Amino acid sequence: MKLLIAVPVLALAIGAFSEPIPRTPTRVQRDLPTIESVLAGISADVNTLDTDVKAFTGGDTSTVIGDSDTLLATIQAGTTTVQGTSSLSQDDALSLVSSVQTLNSSIATTVSDLVAKKCALVTAGAGPQTLQALQSQASAASALADAITSKVPSALQQTAAALSAGVAASLQSGVTAFQDTSSCPAPTGGSSAPPSEPSSPPSSAPASTPPSVPTSAPPSPPSSVPSSPASVPISAPTSPPASTPSVPVIPPPGSSLPSPPPPAATCDHKCAQQKNGLKYLQCAIKKVLLHQV
């Protein structure tokens, strides 16, 4: 009777052990795909940026700038995600090498294509924005590399740092290229133009004020000054010319002539020779005039 009872119990026990026991994945197994997903998302944004950079020929730069902003946000979000994971095993860390190398290659290609379009971007006015985007991406990529390196075993951390150094070097080459845009034509427009040169002299230099020009007309010449030489009065000589005789007063008939004044010494001889008629009278008048003078 006891044997009959024991057989079903043994069969039940054997059946229980024959069923698969469910296993809960460890945290380390879950963290590896999470980090791989972060790297894959960054690679996708890098490839999108590279495609739009190659297609850019000038003009509107909003697509390229928008892709750069999206890439930066993806790197920053991925860094936060990786920081929240636990440490990786050695095998899991080694499996990330392929993903990191793929990302390095994509970033190097994109930065090279971006530098090739440097003058086109600068002329379109996006030089300063591109430089700032590269600097921000380099800083964010460095933070992501530090976060991943901190999750791998200490024996592999030096290898992880060497792999991430390729990303930093590529981004830094882009920063260096866009820091010097002197060989590119001046910006003609675009989403962002560099600051223009000041058009006015420095405020420390005093601005000179030109002397004021008088607006009133010069004073008119005095009214006493004649306007033309013809109006200047010419004074007449005070004495008439000697050759112009005065008109003699002829006395009426029957009256005696006035006694002539004493003849001048210079005219006595001539008057003495002309005693008769009009000539004598003219001679006498001349003597009178000469005597008055």
Q: CA-CA distance, 260 to 242, in Å (whole number)?
A: 19
Under a CB-based contact definition with an 8 Å cutoff, are residues 102 and 128 in contact? no
**E strands present in the chain:** none
The domains found in the chain, sorted by start residue, are 25-179 (1.20.1280.140), 259-293 (no CATH)
* pLDDT of residue 234 exceeding 70: no
Tell which residue, 44, 40, 42, has the closest CA to residue 32: 40
Of the candidates 162, 47, 158, the one whose C-alpha atom is nearest the C-alpha of residue 102 is: 47
pLDDT confidence of residue 283 = 72
Which has more pLDDT, 167 or 257? 167
Residue 282 banded pLDDT, cuts 50, 70, 90: confident
pLDDT tens, residue by residue, 74-112 = 999 999 999 999 999 999 999 999 999 999 999 999 999
Q: What is the dihedral of CA 11, 13, 15, 17, to 10 degrees?
A: -150
How would residue 257 be classed by pLDDT, with cut points 50, 70 and 90?
low
DSSP for 134-153, written as a single string: HHHHHHHHHHHHHHHHTTS-
Rounded to whole angstroms, the Cα distance separating 142 from 101 reads 15
First vs last C-alpha separation in the chain: 202
Residue 106 contacts residue 43 (beta carbons within 8 Å): yes
Asked if pLDDT for residue 191 goes beyond 70, the answer is no
4-45 pLDDT tens trace: 444 444 444 444 444 444 444 444 445 899 999 999 999 999
Residue 95 and residue 32: Cα distance in Å, rounded? 9
pLDDT number for residue 164? 87
Whole-angstrom CA distances from 146 to 66, 76, 176 are 26, 12, 23
Q: How confident is the model at residue 292 (pLDDT cuts 50, 70, 90)?
A: low
> What is the band of 250 on the pLDDT scale with cuts at 50, 70, 90?
low
Q: Which residue has the higher pLDDT, 71 or 216?
A: 71
pLDDT in tens, 121-142: 999 999 999 999 999 999 999 9
What's at 86, amino acid-wise?
S
37-67 pLDDT, tens digit per residue, is 999 999 999 999 999 999 999 999 999 999 9
